[in-house]
Structure 1
């Protein structure tokens, strides 16, 4: 069914059949960014509009910077899949999803990023989305997804008003924690990750799930080295991000 324009940005419409109602009257308070993981824009777009795929997004951003709206913002697009953030598992019902045409191994073109910035700012303003709830698919689905990937310029966008950021301290020698470590420092690390929103049990054991979540955190906030080791820089960056969250 045709739908009216939602965004104030120039776009065309290619409705996807893959959507439903937002559940329990959930309002939008999150913006989730993805990459398509494909070399060809048309192939990725066809997949998002194929009823057999059971996936979609609200917007599709071509490599040349042109925008397509696939699902009305009032509807629940199927872009997050199995996901979790701050205790919430139905991320599709609370989010707007943008699929960015990018294979994952390529740089994002400046023109594409300029348009993405405008689209994100428009969505954020209309829905009142806080900067710390502009996230990547990898944040809400650690290990299962890695998009929008290590080449995505989170710092650049955050400086322009899209997303949350804290400059990491220089990497160097310092205490670190890794798979198999146990104790109160691990419990503190897990607590800080959970406070920010990541799905990690607070057990005091640096297990495989904790390592996966640390990798997801690094992918977004410390992409210079994504190894799942909670080194001093990773921990200090997490601390600074949590310290800048609003006090409830």
Structure 2
């Protein structure tokens, strides 16, 4: 893993939960310098534990023992203080507002060992390696549909997209949301939750509509995790 540069942020406080999650973000700003300036600005009241630049440089902004302020109002699998329960990594990318683009190989090559190290040290399960949009679907889009979740999944660092044994359960829209909530999402804004699910597990078509393919993918995700008797009706 590349050497990590310390770039301390004042924006942190005490954890109240053990680390069980890893949340990936994009910076969503025009360049890395702007993002670093904001994440280390006391008045901005935002931060993350790490930042990964496009050239692969990794910076540490907040110590892992501290609660960084990266997730905001968020929910995942019943955890509402996501900041306390997670490590947050900001990945430099202009985001949807400033010219969203693929994440370069140099950046992913630096991110992967960082994620692997964190996951191994804390025993974080793949289902709890998530994007900001997964934990805050009504507010966030990052790291977005261009992020290479499949790469992390192949390495056992994230849940893979199911591609085999898919069958449409023909849930109603409400049934899909119940299943999505069971998987871990906040479904208080239904279309936003569906969109977040698509960015993560069906990124080629992100339209907020739970079609047969989305239903089949979600059913398979639940069946891979739970006994078949407990699958949503």
TM-score by structure 1 length?
A: 0.84
Comparing 186-195 with 104-113, which one deviates more in the overlay? 186-195
Q: Which residue of 1 aligns with 2:36?
A: 45
The C-alpha deviation readout for 1:66-122, integer Å capped at 9, x for no partner, is 111010101000000011112221100000000000112111110110110000000
Q: Does 1:244 align with 2:220?
A: no
Alignment of 1:130-209 (within 5 A): 130-168=125-163, 185-200=172-187, 209=189
More displaced 10-residue stretch of structure 1: 13-22 or 147-156: 147-156
The runs of at least 4 aligned residues of structure 1 exceeding 3 Å deviation read none
Name the Cα RMSD after superposition. 2.1
**Residues 169, 216 of structure 2: 8 Å contact kept:** no
Q: 1:158 to 1:175 in 2, by over 3 A?
A: closer
The alpha carbon displacement at 1:125 in A equals: 0.2
Indicate the SS of the match to 2:102.
coil
State how 1:43-82 maps to structure 2 within 5 Å. Answer: 43-82=34-73
Pick from 192, 195, 214 the counterpart of residue 194 of structure 2: 214
What secondary structure does 1:244 align onto? helix
Answering whether residue 210 of structure 2 is matched by residue 230 of structure 1, we say yes
The 2-side partners of 1:187 and 1:36 are apart by 33
> How far apart are the structure 1 equivalents of 2:66 and 2:2?
19
Aligned-partner SS, 2:89 = strand
Aligned length: 222
Give structure 2 stretches of 5+ with no counterpart: none
Q: Does 1:22 align with 2:15?
A: yes
State which structure, 1 or 2, has the greater radius of gyration over its C-alpha atoms: 1
Report the 3-state secondary structure (helix = DSSP H, G, I; strand = E; otherwise coil) of the residue aligned with 2:225.
coil
Distance in structure 1 (CA, Å) of the matches to 2:226 and 2:55: 37
